[in-house]
């Protein structure tokens, strides 16, 4: 499969976002916000960066708990929805449409998180640039949480070429192939709704646990702690996701 390096620029709109909205429950958002709040260990009023923020579901939940949130995402449709949600709930959240590798802040945030399986879309250089951008935006000693369902140890162990899902009125067929030379998982997402079919290609870099830790260390972080569940169960080969918690080095 030949996938453009910037596939994500044209993926996140329309039916793909509708499927995501239907797949994530309010309970999941509350539980994930509980985990983020606990792991960042911050008091209400402190500044947190959500990148990428999607439609702002976690930013809004955490803002409702008293934290000061800034959300960044490339998808214009999601940023518009996030703005609308903030207005509807009267929450002072700052949402910005921008490239997640180009964060303009220096040592501003008390904590940050990247949820929703949103890491690894770019080239190796781009992925590293994102982690470095987050590191620059954080204050020394601030914690960063990165969540991914595509970690090499578990994804390859449970590899499936085809998967079917039904979410609301959308049928989704996922077709996977793995390039062992580049360590990338290439996926065709085929959305079917109301008699129409929409095929969208994607590509995600599969890092091992150790590779991700090394990337974080090179970006100015220290001490990687890996969890497989939101109840803080340590990551293991049976985990379906990796939630990595790390800390920015103090100067």
Q: What is the pLDDT of residue 6?
A: 86
Distance CA 61, CA 195 (A): 35
Place of tokens 């204050």: 139
- Do 131 and 162 belong to one domain? no
In this structure, of 3-17, 29-43, 65-79, 205-219, the range with the lowest mean pLDDT score is: 3-17
Distance CA 100, CA 131 (A): 9
Q: What is the pLDDT of residue 10?
A: 87
- Do 194 and 233 belong to one domain? no
- pTM for this prediction: 0.94
* Structural domain includes residue 1: no
Average per-residue pLDDT in the chain? 94
- At 53-109, the pLDDT tens digits run 999 999 999 999 999 999 999 999 999 999 999 999 999 999 999 999 999 999 999
- Do 124 and 223 belong to one domain? yes
Section 10-27 average pLDDT: 90
Distance CA 67, CA 221 (A): 23
- At 122-143, the pLDDT tens digits run 999 999 999 999 999 999 999 9
Q: What is the pLDDT of residue 3?
A: 63
Domain that holds residue 174: 154-202
* Structural domain includes residue 109: yes
Distance CA 23, CA 1 (A): 27
DSSP 101: T
- Do 143 and 172 belong to one domain? no
pLDDT bucket at 23, cuts 50 / 70 / 90: confident
Q: What is the pLDDT of residue 72?
A: 97
Section 136-158 average pLDDT: 95
Section 172-185 average pLDDT: 96
CATH number at residue 68: 3.40.50.150
Long-range contacts of 209-217 (CB under 8 A, 24+ apart): 209/151, 209/152, 209/153, 209/235, 209/242, 211/152, 212/146, 212/148, 212/151, 212/242, 212/244, 213/244, 215/127, 215/128, 215/131, 216/131, 216/144, 216/146, 216/244, 216/246
- Do 230 and 181 belong to one domain? no
Section 197-208 average pLDDT: 95
> Is the bond leading into 52 cis (omega within 30 degrees of zero)?
yes
* Structural domain includes residue 170: yes
Answer for the pair 113, 146: CB distance below 8 angstroms, yes or no.
Answer: yes
- At 207-234, the pLDDT tens digits run 999 999 999 999 999 999 999 999 999 9
* Structural domain includes residue 134: yes
* Residues in CB range of 52: below 8 A, 6 or more apart: 72, 73, 74, 75, 100, 114, 116, 118
Region for residue 202 given its phi and psi (left: phi exceeds 0; alpha: psi -120 to 50; beta: otherwise): beta
Region for residue 162 given its phi and psi (left: phi exceeds 0; alpha: psi -120 to 50; beta: otherwise): beta
DSSP 151: B
- Do 22 and 133 belong to one domain? yes
Distance CA 203, CA 200 (A): 10
Place of tokens 């499936």: 160
pLDDT bucket at 2, cuts 50 / 70 / 90: low
* Structural domain includes residue 158: yes
Q: What is the pLDDT of residue 22?
A: 87
- Do 26 and 89 belong to one domain? yes
* Structural domain includes residue 71: yes
CATH number at residue 182: 2.20.25
Place of tokens 């220096």: 106
* Structural domain includes residue 241: yes
Q: Is the pLDDT of residue 4 over 80?
A: no
- If one counts every other C-beta atom within 10 angstroms of the C-beta of residue 247, the result is 19
In this structure, of 10-14, 41-45, 96-100, the range with the lowest mean pLDDT score is: 10-14
């Amino acid at each position: 499969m030949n996938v453009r390096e910037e596939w994500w620029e044209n993926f996140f709109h329309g039916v793909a976002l509708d499927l995501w909205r239907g797949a994530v429950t309010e309970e999941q958002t509350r539980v994930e916000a509980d985990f983020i709040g606990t792991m960042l260990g911050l008091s209400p009023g402190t500044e947190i960066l959500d990148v990428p923020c999607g439609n702002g579901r976690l930013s809004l939940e955490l803002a409702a708990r008293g934290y000061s949130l800034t959300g960044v995402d490339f998808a214009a449709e999601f940023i518009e929805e996030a703005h609308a949600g903030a207005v509807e709930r009267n929450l002072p959240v700052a949402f910005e449409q921008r490239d997640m590798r180009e964060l303009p802040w220096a040592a501003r945030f008390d904590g940050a998180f990247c949820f929703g399986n949103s890491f690894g879309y770019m080239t190796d250089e781009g992925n590293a640039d994102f982690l470095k951008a987050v590191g620059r935006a954080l204050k020394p000693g601030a914690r960063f949480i990165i969540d991914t369902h595509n970690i090499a140890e578990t994804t390859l162990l449970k590899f499936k070429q085809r998967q079917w899902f039904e979410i609301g009125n959308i049928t989704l067929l996922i077709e996977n192939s793995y390039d062992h030379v580049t360590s990338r998982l290439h996926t065709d997402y085929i959305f079917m709704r109301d008699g129409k079919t929409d095929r969208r290609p994607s590509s995600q870099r599969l890092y091992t646990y150790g590779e991700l830790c090394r990337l974080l260390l090179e970006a100015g972080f220290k001490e990687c702690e890996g969890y497989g569940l939101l109840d803080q169960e340590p990551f293991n080969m049976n985990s379906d996701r990796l939630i990595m918690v790390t800390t920015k080095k103090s100067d």
